């Protein structure tokens, strides 16, 4: 009983709710990721990995609002095979007194040259040392569709079955995302997204990425609920890519993050 009460307290009054980390590239574009294609799409809209041509591995570290005790560590891996793609993801968020883990297994597929679809099966666990842990399973689904050669539409639903944590009854956040990206050319991409989370206000996100030269990209974005600003950059070297980003919160401050990726 003490564990249930304590865990409920964390869920209700935790100042900084854990968010699924979408990696510095997508975060740097305001988190408007539902209609983008990247190895970190596993954490946003997994349909985005169906279009990848090469296997890729990436790991990221995010500081939470400059609090050195609170952080998120994430890793993703994608293996394309013909019209299919398989993905693995893992995330750990928290500090010594409280932590959340999320692991995912994804299957994505292309249907012709225009339609991508994906399903992700996720395992969630919350731990409070000396009190215990609780867990849950959830499913995500996503679609992407090319309209011509420049416009990519995206849709994603997270936890439509309203899965709950065992012993607590708290529902894992249910959300629906719709968006689009416009590819002006190979160097400039603009993206927008509308996100609705159950029992929460609607959020609108927008961002862009500009390839200054073939090895350097600059990114920026905003979201409106609450109003947040994002900025980032990426550097490519052979098969390696380093991405960095920072986001601001009007009350809690800045959150920096960095990732290292390798394309096989």
What integer is the mean pLDDT of 235-254?
94
Instruction: Look at residues 197, 190, 192, 162 and name the one whose alpha carbon lies nearest to residue 176.
Output: 197
Among residues 115, 59, 57, 112, which one has the least CA distance to residue 86?
A: 57
What was the pLDDT predicted at 7?
54
Read off the pLDDT band of 238 (50, 70, 90): very high
Q: Which pLDDT band, with edges at 50, 70 and 90, does 4 fall under?
A: low
pTM above 0.85, yes or no: yes
b/e code 120-154 from CB counts within 10 Å (16+ = b): bebebbbbbeeeebbebebebbbbbbbeeeeebbb
Mean pLDDT across 36-58: 97
pLDDT digits (tens, 9 = 90+) for 51-70: 899 999 999 999 988 666 78
Please report which helix (H) or strand (E) contains residue 78, including its range.
strand 67-81
Locate all alpha helices (DSSP H) within 112-250, ordered by sequence: none
pLDDT band at residue 5 using 50, 70 and 90 as cut-offs:
very low
Flag whether pLDDT at 15 surpasses 50: no
pLDDT band at residue 17, thresholds of 50, 70 and 90?
A: very low
Q: What is the pLDDT of residue 251?
A: 84
pLDDT score recorded for residue 53:
94
Instruction: Note the pLDDT of residue 105.
Output: 99
Q: What is the pLDDT of residue 187?
A: 96
pLDDT in tens, 90-142: 999 988 888 999 999 999 999 999 999 999 999 999 998 887 889 999 999 99
Total domain count, the chain: 1
What is the mean pLDDT of the segment spanning 163-192? 92
Judged against a pLDDT cut of 80, whether residue 14 lies above it is answered with no
Residue 64, Cβ density class (10 Å: 0-12 exposed, 13-18 middle, ≥19 buried): buried
Mean pLDDT (whole number) for 79-98: 94
CB 42 within 8 A of CB 261: no
Which structural domain range is residue 60 located in? 2-263
Residue 223 reports pLDDT greater than 80? yes
Nearest C-alpha neighbor of 136 from the set 105, 102, 183, 92: 102
- Stretch 75-97: mean pLDDT: 95
**Domain at 67, CATH number:** 2.40.160.60
pLDDT at residue 8 tops 60: no
């Amino acid at each position: 009983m003490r564990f249930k009460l304590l865990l409920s307290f964390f869920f209700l009054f935790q100042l900084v709710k854990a968010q699924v980390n979408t990696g510095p590239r997508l975060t740097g574009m305001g988190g408007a990721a539902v209609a983008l294609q990247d190895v970190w799409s596993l954490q946003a809209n997994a349909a985005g990995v169906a279009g990848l041509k090469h296997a890729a591995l990436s790991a990221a570290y995010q500081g939470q609002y400059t609090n050195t005790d609170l952080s998120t560590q994430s890793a993703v891996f994608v293996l394309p095979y013909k019209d299919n793609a398989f993905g693995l993801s893992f995330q750990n968020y928290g500090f010594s007194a409280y932590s959340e883990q999320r692991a995912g297994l994804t299957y994505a597929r292309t249907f012709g040259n225009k339609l991508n679809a994906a399903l992700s099966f996720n395992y969630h666990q919350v731990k409070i040392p000396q009190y215990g842990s609780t867990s849950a399973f959830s499913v995500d689904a996503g679609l992407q569709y090319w309209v011509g050669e420049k416009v990519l539409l995206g849709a994603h639903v997270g936890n439509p079955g309203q899965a709950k944590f065992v012993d607590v009854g708290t529902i894992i956040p249910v959300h629906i995302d719709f968006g689009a990206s416009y590819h002006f050319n190979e160097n400039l991409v603009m993206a927008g997204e509308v996100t609705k989370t159950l029992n929460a206000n609607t959020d609108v996100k927008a961002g862009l990425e500009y390839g200054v030269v073939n090895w350097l990209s600059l990114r920026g974005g905003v979201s409106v609920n609450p109003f947040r600003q994002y900025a980032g950059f990426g550097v490519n070297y052979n098969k390696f890519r380093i991405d960095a980003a920072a986001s601001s919160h009007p009350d809690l401050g800045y959150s920096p993050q960095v990732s290292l990726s390798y394309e096989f």
